Amino acid sequence: MKIALCSSFVPFVDGGGRFIVEWLQRKLIEHGHEVERIYLPFVDHPQDMFAQMVAYRLIDLTESCDRLIAFRPPSYMLRHPCKILWFIHHFRLYYDLWDTEYRPVPDSVAGRAIRDTVFAADTATLSEARHIFTNSRTVSDRLRHFNGIDSEVLYPPLQDADRFRSDGYGDEIVCVSRVEHHKRQHLLIEALRHTRTPVKLRLCGMSCSPPTYSEELKALASRLGLDGRVIFEQRWISEEEKVERLASALAAAYVPFDEDSYGYPSLEGSHARKAILTTTDSGGVTELVVDSVNGYVCAPHPQALGEAMDRLFLDRSRASMMGEAAYQRVLDLGITWDKVVQKLLA
């Protein structure tokens, strides 16, 4: 089958939005399909956003492929008789982030008209899809709430998940993630102060935004006298290093604020058979982690996280059991490429 994978992109910025497309591309080729990947630019400035949407709309792939799979907005505005969506997020500034400081235009008559137009354009073009899959319940809920559209959750798997392994359960809680304020590495550092055991914390990952936050983290660790117990690796972590860090970890931590999906860090930790430490307000992560089964879902407070860290440190057999349960949880949810390919091509 000839399949076009279409998404929007920001030139020179990598991330989950590209991984899902490129990993799927590889799998579809392995399954014997012809695949063309189409990344188009999009800038969500209110003044020329609609002209760009029209451009997407005018692109004609109807005769050039058997099936179109669309991802980031507004790639679903392309026309195709067999349009399938793997919808990973809305134009969030106009949707769930409207009532926050991130709102891009004033909440005035004019601003609301822009928002309404985004809603209308989205709803009309989303409705054309033969089937809509999302990456999480959170995103499915938003589609239902804002656009009145039903969808099916199709969790995105990792590429080559088999390379993750466990070599036992050491002294470190490992967090491999971009270093960003909304990923809340500071919460993990503050949690250490409340621990009574010598449990350690390893923070791996690069900062994409200005380096202030990563500097703050280092200062925070010093101020709390945690210098030896927080290990910083603030750089690009290779896939091999990631496997190694997780293999010897006591558990994996991922505590973002209200994330859409379960997040690759928690999935990676699960494949390495580690309990996942997260918080009740982490959004999609809580779709994966069941408290005290395959990790701990703590209140988003340092003290609660610190107690959970101690419990993991003091009871390694429990940490190991929860790690196995984390691996089992991924299997139970059916997060595999075979399932993804079968669903998207059904």
Contact residues toward other proteins (CB under 8 A) are 2, 4, 10-13, 34, 36, 38-43, 45, 48, 51-52, 54-55, 58-61, 63-65
- CB 67 → other proteins: shortest distance, Å? 12
235: left (phi over 0), alpha (psi -120 to 50) or beta: beta
- CB 63 → other proteins: shortest distance, Å? 8
- CB 94 → other proteins: shortest distance, Å? 17
How many CB atoms lie under 10 A from the CB of residue 325? 19
**Residues 6 or more apart in contact with residue 305 via CB below 8 angstroms:** 187, 188, 190, 191, 194, 255, 277, 279, 298
Return d(Cα 189, Cα 209) in angstroms, integer.
20
Q: What is the 3-state composition of the chain as percent helix, strand, coil, each rounded to the nearest 5?
A: 40, 15, 40
Helices (H), 67-184: 109-126, 137-142
How many CB atoms lie under 10 A from the CB of residue 64? 11
Contacts 24+ apart (CB under 8 A), 97-101: none
- CB 60 → other proteins: shortest distance, Å? 5
How many CB atoms lie under 10 A from the CB of residue 19? 14
- CB 59 → other proteins: shortest distance, Å? 6
How many CB atoms lie under 10 A from the CB of residue 73? 26
- CB 11 → other proteins: shortest distance, Å? 5
**Comparison of 4 and 158: residue with beta carbon closer to other proteins:** 4
- CB 32 → other proteins: shortest distance, Å? 15
With tokens 């709803």, the residue in question is 123
**Comparison of 11 and 210: residue with beta carbon closer to other proteins:** 11
**Comparison of 10 and 153: residue with beta carbon closer to other proteins:** 10
- Torsion angle of C-alpha atoms 113, 119, 121, 125, degrees rounded to 10: -170
Return d(Cα 16, Cα 250) in angstroms, integer.
26
**Comparison of 11 and 228: residue with beta carbon closer to other proteins:** 11
**Comparison of 74 and 256: residue with beta carbon closer to other proteins:** 74
**Comparison of 59 and 341: residue with beta carbon closer to other proteins:** 59
**Comparison of 36 and 281: residue with beta carbon closer to other proteins:** 36
